[in-house]
Structure 1
Amino acid sequence: MDLAKGEISAHVGFRVVTSDLIAGGPIELEFFVENLRPFPFRLAVSGDRMRQRPGQFSFSATFEGSPLGDPIEGVPYMGGPMGIVQVATDIPWHQSIVLNQFLCLEDTPRRLVQGTSGRIDLVCNRQLSLAITDADALSHNGALVVAVNLSFDIRRDDEALEELASSLLNEIMTGPLDSRERPLALLLSMRKAAHAQIDALTKHPDESVARRARQAMSSFCKNG
């Protein structure tokens, strides 16, 4: 979408960045904001403390015509950390999002026969305040709504799904500490689809990792 407010003009949207889309596996999106004018503007970004996921986003989806639920539906929004980023013509804003944190994608394999594919129709939304000053960026007054529809196919491949979960677990257990966050976030987002691997993480020597694994286990989707 192209959005404009006053002298600010931006090209914004969502794209799927995961190349191998396996039913039950993590699906990563990218939210992007590109500045179409020669002067910079401000953009507020935030986290959702209670839900442990990026703030300001909402997603709804159907898989083969049936809705996919929110894994932590009913958990209230209680605020979270917020900051300001500057978006210049040569410095666009890119934010990674793990879609599994918003939708019960672990329910998709059971709806497919092994070796077949199904279509996800996804609606992506984010409120966006385009502003020159930090104060205006933090204000919701005059906020614009980014609404983008995406459709893509995922395939059921149980062997590939198991290999992926095991590979992510191995990265967490043996990889460098400073590169552990991404595989950890991806594995935890798989919930029931990586039950054995997440259960193994509940015994991790790093208590912060073990605690997050226990939280993930407790948040497994109850439907299906």
Structure 2
Amino acid sequence: MVGREKFDEELQKVQELLIELSNTAIDTLNTSMDYLLASNIEGALSVINHDIHINRLEEEINDRVILLIAKQQPVATDLRRLMVLVKIASDMERIGDYAVNIAKETIRIGKEEHVAPILLLDEMRVKTISMLKQILDAFIHENADEAKKIAKQDDEVDEMYGQTIRALLNVGVEKPEQLSQVTQLSFVCRYLERSADHATNLAERLLYLLKGKHYELNN
């Protein structure tokens, strides 16, 4: 097998691993929110235990990219693609971390009845997961126009974040005995907002991959 064919084969494997990592991280974030809404402690524990799989996928991607660079000496365009793959893997691993953090908050809340505006958090979850799935699809199809559209949706999540935090603060004032739960759900709100920010990061990385220029979206 000639050098270029070998490089393309290895690159394809890295991209397949990245898609697996991305789907796993997105699904884990979604599932973690399901467990929060259902006060499912056992499910939350399974999210925490599953995080090692996400971490190992990111590590394998990084290792393969390092070997490709060392052995194949890629040209500039290929090197740019490899660097983007590594950065996207880091974004997705971070989303997996947010899923774990949400699971930990679920365990801290336990079986307490949710006194805070949990439906607002669920709306944030739906929008965030939609953004992440859309940007992954845009990456797979290398669709720059879709990347730009997806990044604009981050403003909607920011608005949801502000609305939810205000509602949580109101509950804290009205029911100070529930301040602990309010604080924990505020963290969950922040993890969702940060996950949506990573969708914007992914859009910027895709545009850099396709156009060779750095873009700052939603600034």
Question: TM-score of the superposition, structure 1-length normalised?
Answer: 0.25
Higher strand share: 1
Higher helix share: 2
Question: TM-score of the superposition, structure 2-length normalised?
Answer: 0.25
